[in-house]
Structure 1
């Protein structure tokens, strides 16, 4: 009889122990699904290799996860410039990694180095997928101005697993004479040379430098779904660039959407009404093409 009581007691204790362990496990999973904002994450060795990660509540490996690349003519700018977009997307259940990356210069840092930085970001996010309960691959990518250019080049030439692209006010074709004349008149050829690594002084009437062609996203368009957002009064990147990309995407048979923001300049989210157009379109696009 004593043996029977001992056996029953042992079974009860084991069941209680298992229940406690299961409860603990459930609690941990629940905690991991809370909204989180992780700041100043180092993803590489350079001082600019830092990002902030926004993780929505109730996320899963199917949740859209955007790599957000700031603008600044490849030579300035900061991830903090895009906080409002990241916060809005977070409120819509979309994960965001807002990234700083190396600035381009005339010596050793050009587009390939910038793309390497973004690649390190993608690999870091992938390596933490289990810890964060986020996707391991199939990230989305977005940027404004030069950040849009870097986003397009990364998706089209570096990482074919990118699910979708949102480019805002980005330059896409540096072989377009009208655009180059515009860039030269705006005294921006020097930053273009820093990004592309071009060493040849270009003047109207000259042949297009090879470095400009090799760093033009329109030359590498593929079928990754792409959203284009551009203001029709852009004073830095002519809206013609948006139409050039649209034409290339259409010819490639890619899924795309062109959103023209009436009256908006290069700072496309300057006015609240324009910001709302940009943010809501971006969120809808990511929910459609950045998930699963």
Structure 2
């Protein structure tokens, strides 16, 4: 299994090759952006975008935030977006776009550590896939953890949610299938919750709901709340959170390495 097409992108990076890749997910040809280091791959970071369509689209600048010389960064566009076949399903069948790509990457780099980063809408995408892929850690950043709560809080998004998922009272099965918390127990990979206290796009209550659940089931997690920040942190706060994320990934990997030695 491999990508069926690779398109070199116009990015002048000294350490990585930047490609738009095409691969099969279900019956569709879907695309993503892949930054592959010239040095051996020791870490894979999968960035799960937020938004829909051109809003929140995958951008190179965002992916560069997670880069180091041995890190491969991959971001799926999701079906129905940016030239990918199919229709965006908002944490439905489009979850296969994540797991299909990961089958390719884990086969190519079986020794690499894997970390998911789910931002905004990508939060629920990650919560529904990170255990299936058996990642080493999951970072949910300003992310949606409860779709019903999102429907209640974001009146301006109700039309989109009704169109893509349905009304919570009429499409109970669709919402049940997207209930990520029901599947997260004490044996889940460690989770880092990052959220801004002034986030108006995804309220911090989404983070609190997730934290409460993780505490109740005894899962491993850590929080980093920036109470004066919105959905996207300001420059200095952005530096702070990226430092926390890098430290988190390094600590998880160090712990895993110690486990292997034991």
Cα distance in 2, alignment partners of residues 142 and 220 from structure 1? 19
1:78 to 2:57 alignment: yes
Q: How many residues align?
A: 233
Matched ranges for 1:222-261 at <5 A: 222=185, 223-261=188-226
Does structure 1 conserve the Cα–Cα contact (< 8 Å) formed by 2:128 and 2:180?
yes
Identify the match of residue 35 of structure 2 among 40, 53, 63: 53
| Cα deviations by residue, 1:63-99 (Å, 9 ceiling, x for unpaired) | 221111111147843221xx33432322374331132
1:90 to 2:47 alignment: no
Matched ranges for 1:124-273 at <5 A: 124-129=104-109, 135-136=110-111, 139-156=114-131, 158-159=132-133, 161-176=134-149, 179-183=150-154, 185=155, 187-195=156-164, 197-198=165-166, 201=167, 209-222=172-185, 223-266=188-231, 268-269=232-233, 271-273=234-236
| Cα deviations by residue, 1:210-250 (Å, 9 ceiling, x for unpaired) | 42233132222232100111000011211111011011111
Does structure 2 conserve the Cα–Cα contact (< 8 Å) formed by 1:68 and 1:97?
yes
Higher strand share: 2
**Which structure has the greater CA radius of gyration?**
1
1:289 to 2:252 alignment: yes
Does structure 2 conserve the Cα–Cα contact (< 8 Å) formed by 1:55 and 1:90?
no
Structure 2 residue ranges without an equivalent (≥5): 1-13, 258-262
Q: Which of 253-262 and 223-232 deviates more?
A: 253-262
Structure 1 residue ranges without an equivalent (≥5): 1-33, 130-134
Cα distance in 1, alignment partners of residues 79 and 53 from structure 2? 8
Partner of 1:11: none
Cα distance in 2, alignment partners of residues 175 and 278 from structure 1? 28
- TM-score normalised over the length of structure 2: 0.77
Q: Which has the higher contact order (CA 8 A, sep 6+)?
A: 1
Helix, strand or coil at the partner of 1:91: coil
Identify the match of residue 112 of structure 1 among 84, 92, 96: 92
Shift of residue 103, structure 1, vs aligned partner: 4.0
Does structure 2 conserve the Cα–Cα contact (< 8 Å) formed by 1:170 and 1:237?
yes
Helix, strand or coil at the partner of 2:236: helix
Identify if the C-alpha distance between structure 1 residues 233 and 103 changes in structure 2 by more than 3 Å, giving closer, same or farther: farther
Helix, strand or coil at the partner of 2:118: strand
| Cα deviations by residue, 1:123-182 (Å, 9 ceiling, x for unpaired) | 1212332xxxxx3575221121011211111114x33x1111001111112344xx4332
Identify if the C-alpha distance between structure 1 residues 152 and 216 changes in structure 2 by more than 3 Å, giving closer, same or farther: same
Partner of 2:4: none
